[in-house]
Chain A
Amino acid sequence: MKIGAYEDSGSARTLLSVECLKKYFESRSGFLSRQVRLVRAVDGVNLRVFKGETLGLVGESGSGKSTLGRVVIRLEEPTEGRILFDGRDVHRLPKEDMRSFRRDVQIVFQDPYASLNPRKSAENIIGEPLTVQRICDGRERRERVVRLMEVVGLTPDQMRRYPHEFSGGQRQRIGIARAIATNPKLIIADEPVSALDVSVQAQILNLLKDLQRDHNLTYIFISHDLRVVENMSDRIAVMYLGKIVEVAECGMLCGEPLHPYTQALFSALPVMKPGERKERIILEGDVPSPVNPQAGCPFHPRCRYRIRVCETQVPALTRTGKGRSVACHLIGNDASGQGEEERGAVI
């Protein structure tokens, strides 16, 4: 079991650490407007990812989970804060080290219809990273592609086909084969099954589990689907409006969510048991916009427990017990006294 990594959260087990990360975008309200508004997509995130684990990242649309993934893989530059991969600052890597970073960290995108180049054959899509990384070429590359296609459950005779000739599930397999081609250490899976039919989702999730076991991969698994994240993850971080509101070991978080938002998320999930109606927390209002958010706790306008301090002060992500941190004014620190506030510290 990889869980329980909290006791020895020493640097040896940490593959990735995100420190005080902020990513703001500028948005103009109109084409010619001079008024610039800040979209706080990621707003002060601290997070660690341990070797060999799957960290689930859940949140609703606009919570910043995809942006966080994109900053980690350096598709976006952070506004503030830093990301350490294997102890080195990702956004300050010299050019020659950048190449090896690109090899070590890969991404699988949500929409297999939009993320594959329609003018390239499956062989070229899967083999491209091998060429770019100067790992191999020619016949050797073809042999590697054949093996990769077999690993992800495609047949090698399909390698001359183009993306439109594959089904959604098969395209996602191509995307996964491309991602593992360079033997990466970390894969960011950004909603990898959301665009797929229910009966195909399970196939892809099983494939991701097999690959992790066989290739010793670490995953950041981003999804809005709590049940999928619950099934895939060792630990789960819940995001709301650019901030992490709760992070805990999977069984703990799903069994007994502590943050009022996490509670509402789980309570909103439909249960496949007709007749067993559960008490449901219906949140009022919409997911607020990350443009110029209100002061205080990002969740306070929808929170049923809010007290006065929630409207003015942002709660820090605080350790509340072994393997769990929560950002809520109403949830106290670890009773054992070890969990003094870790404001700004790495969680």
Chain B
Amino acid sequence: MAKVLQVTNLRTCFDTDSGTVRAVDGVDLSLEEGETLGIAGESGCGKTVLALSIMRLIPSPPGRIASGQVMLDGVDTARLSDEEMRKIRGRGISMIFQEPMTSLNPVIPVGEQIAEAVRLHLGLSRKDATGKAVEMLKTVGIPSPSERAKEYPHQMSGGMRQRVMIAIALSCRPRLMLADEPTTALDVTIQAQILDLIDRLKEEAKTSVVLITHDLGVIAEAAQKVAVMYAGLVVEYSSVRELYYEPRHPYTVGLLESRPGPRGKGARNRHLKVIPGTVPNLYELPPGCPFHNRCNVVMDRCKMERPEYTEISEGHYVRCWRISP
């Protein structure tokens, strides 16, 4: 199958007064048509910067893509002019964000915001674009769409606003959609609706999805591939099934174990397993493996050399000296 997205050795840095932060520090990923890739990680691990780098939306300065390649449908995005890139955003790639309230324009009715996207990218007339906007609102499950199209974002609930974001993102049938914590601000019952919706629309439009979230449960349900990030690096990448049933990297194992699951008897008095310490500050990364000071199987080598990104079985990559010396 064709690779919709191929990221090779991507590095994104931010030059700040207190030094250079390597927010994404050598990431390799690929995604095939119709697949969903989950990117898991805690705050500050570089998930969002990775997505913005793929979109070429890194604010510069202070940010810059220091090295690496992002291929979209075989086209190297670095070779495109700003104008060409703008055309790709929307038609080729689109993005939805965590907090729909801050990414929608508060003074423009939601219908017009969808219409704007399709006018720009698909070249529809004003009238056709309005019709398309109503149709999209209907697709994402908003009741009485023609009336709702005239409403402003603040008149809608969080779940409704996220649906509008999805309507905008999918209105031009992009090849790839980046969803950055699309359900984090929502209640569980609404989260279930939105994940269901993304899955259904993805099938219909044959869109590939990159789903960024800190919630491993969401990825288990929605994705086929998963990349676990830590301090700007992908530390483990595999099929979802392999990662959940046979996690290899100590950080992945820790993340999966520290999350309370459906409990058995006596769980009330049992301790949860814990990863000691906290997520590192990117300004003060330890040398060697960035996880070594929290790792329970650390070796001397881990403190000196950064582990290589190694394929340990077909399609399963790990960055750990314990597993791939």
Contacts and interface: CB of A to CB of B under 8 A. Distances in A.
Interface string A202-241: 1101100100010000000000101110111110000000
Interface residues of B, number: 47
A294 interface: no
20 contacts: A61-B187, A197-B278, A198-B216, A199-B294, A202-B272, A205-B260, A224-B187, A254-B263, A265-B189, A268-B191, A268-B192, A270-B217, A270-B218, A271-B217, A272-B216, A272-B256, A272-B261, A282-B196, A283-B193, A286-B190
A198 B244 contact: no
B221 interface: yes
B88 interface: no
Interface string A188-200: 0000000001111
Q: What DSSP secondary structure best describes chain A's contact surface?
A: helix
Contacts, number: 128
Contact of A273 (B218, B220, B268, B274): B220
Interface in B245-288: 245, 254-256, 258-263, 265, 267-269, 271-276, 278-279
A169 interface: yes
B271 A206 contact: yes
A275 interface: yes
A199 B272 contact: no
Interface string B180-195: 0000000111111101
B145 to A, nearest CB: 15
B262 A227 contact: yes
Contacts of B267: 231
Contacts of B159: 286
A270 B220 contact: yes
A264 interface: yes
B43 interface: yes
A186 interface: no
Interface residues of A, number: 47
A274 B269 CA distance: 28
A226 B193 CA distance: 17
Most chain B CB within a 10 A radius of its CB, from A167, A202, A227, A280: A202
User: Which A-B residue pairs are the 8 nearest by beta carbons?
Assistant: A270-B217, A231-B260, A60-B187, A268-B192, A202-B258, A202-B272, A197-B42, A199-B275
A269 interface: yes
A11 B286 CA distance: 56
A282 B188 CA distance: 10
B155 to A, nearest CB: 12
A198 B42 CA distance: 7
Q: What DSSP secondary structure best describes chain B's contact surface?
A: helix
A201 interface: yes
Interface in B85-111: none
A202 B263 CA distance: 14
A202 B274 contact: yes
A47 interface: no
A200 B278 contact: yes
Contact of A60 (B189, B259, B260, B263): B189
B193 A282 contact: yes
A250 interface: yes
Contact of A268 (B188, B269, B294): B188
B220 A201 contact: no
Contacts of B191: 268
B164 interface: no
Given A197-B279, A277-B221, 19 more contacts: A198-B215, A198-B258, A199-B254, A199-B274, A199-B279, A200-B279, A201-B258, A224-B188, A231-B263, A251-B265, A254-B262, A254-B263, A265-B188, A270-B220, A274-B244, A282-B193, A282-B196, A287-B187, A287-B189
Given A197-B214, A268-B188, A272-B216, A286 B160 contact: yes
A286 B143 CA distance: 11
A228 B258 CA distance: 11
B170 interface: no
A206 B272 contact: yes
Contacts of A169: 278
B157 interface: yes
B14 to A, nearest CB: 20
B241 interface: yes
Contacts of A60: 187-190
A203 B188 CA distance: 24
B255 A286 contact: no
A246 B258 CA distance: 28
B179 to A, nearest CB: 15
B263 A230 contact: yes
Interface string A280-316: 1011001100000000000000000000000000000
Contacts of A274: 220-221, 240-241, 244-245
